[in-house]
Structure 1
Amino acid sequence: MTENLCNQNLRREPRNDPENRRSDLEKIHPMSHQDIDKEIAHLERVFGQISANDRIPLSYWRNRLKMLPRASLMPTQRARLERLAAALHSMEQAAQKLAVEP
């Protein structure tokens, strides 16, 4: 019995992986299209104001993007997320350049 439980634990995927957290979250509380729209609108507002120097790291915002359920997105929502991902990528690139410069 104990061996069986141990084997089950070994097969579990890491909990800190955003993909796994997202699927767990979807099982508990699936997001409606309205919820997704609200989250995207929030991210759009925030992304217009953040920089690499902010208190909250860019990796946090990257994880917020990854937490949204891609399979249930409408085409307009998918396009909005792609724009957000591109904007975040630009901020991350700028932060890397600043980190390299003296």
Structure 2
Amino acid sequence: MYEIDANFYSGANAEWQKQHFRFEITSDDKFIFFEKLADGSYKKTYAEVDWYRKSPPMLFRLILKSPHELIDTYPALYRGNRKFYYVFETKFGNMFYRKI
């Protein structure tokens, strides 16, 4: 599971994003994006993962049936001091995800 890393841009907006968005990549190469709705349930958006590289650093693209304003089909991968993180370009600007 990957969640928003609010340390990049701390504050109310980053905390709100962290509480409302996350994604998972399953063992069978499925991408599931979770959006928390007003009633506390989650809307799930699915995509196929097309791996460019299956060993660290893990590089992929997402194959969606239709575009989604919060899912970047070509997420960027960056290396921090000890961990990697993915950056999605979205309607909110860059969203930074780390594996939890």
TM range (shorter): under 0.3
Higher CA-based Rg: 1
Q: Normalising by structure 1, what TM-score?
A: 0.25
